[in-house]
Amino acid sequence: MGDSQADNIFINAHGYASQRYLFDESGEALRNSSSGEYIMAGDNGFHTDNDGILGSHMQQYLFDKGKLSPNTLSSIDNFIKITNYVKEGKNLIMGSCNSAQYDDLFGSGISSIVQSRDIFVNRDYSSLWPIGGKIRFQDFTGFKQTSHENYIKGWVRYRDGAAAQQNFNIIMTKYGVKTIK
């Protein structure tokens, strides 16, 4: 894109899910008082060529990116380069399924790094069907991005590090993102 910026960038990727440890305020991993086992929680994001970018990765990037693996750090740095092509005040849409399913770490992490943009992340299944390996423009503008049968919790809009709107569906228009109930 050179020096140009876009009003809307839609990233069509597979959702990615894993588990993460929960920590207390001092950074110690929490344990179950009766079993002594470490407490884990769901973690989500999207799949990259190397592995995936999870909400916990975004959080670690914000606090101490030196602790991330070289592949994860490179993936996040490259992802941020893409997100910075979105004009301030415009939209980044993560078309990956279930990327905000468990919590807001992924979306709030992106929007903490890439300020002054609306970041849309799905908590459900994203309903785009490529035809011949391509997604046609009319598939964005003609349909909700989560089909009726896959809609459970909807999308989340993040801005400047926080969830600003929840529980809606989106449809793309030639002017950007339209949120609908």
Band of residue 104 on the pLDDT scale cut at 50, 70, 90: very high
Are the C-beta atoms of residues 110 and 169 closer than 8 Å to each other?
A: no
When pLDDT is averaged across residues 28-49 and rounded to a whole number, the result is 93
Residue 37 near residue 120, CB atoms below 8 Å = no
Query: Tokens 């959702």 correspond to what residue?
Result: 15
pLDDT above 70 covers a percentage of the chain that reads 91
The mean pLDDT value for 89-101 works out to: 94
Domain boundaries defined on the chain: 6-180
Predicted pLDDT of residue 130: 62
At residue 172, does pLDDT exceed 90? no
Give the pLDDT score at 55: 95
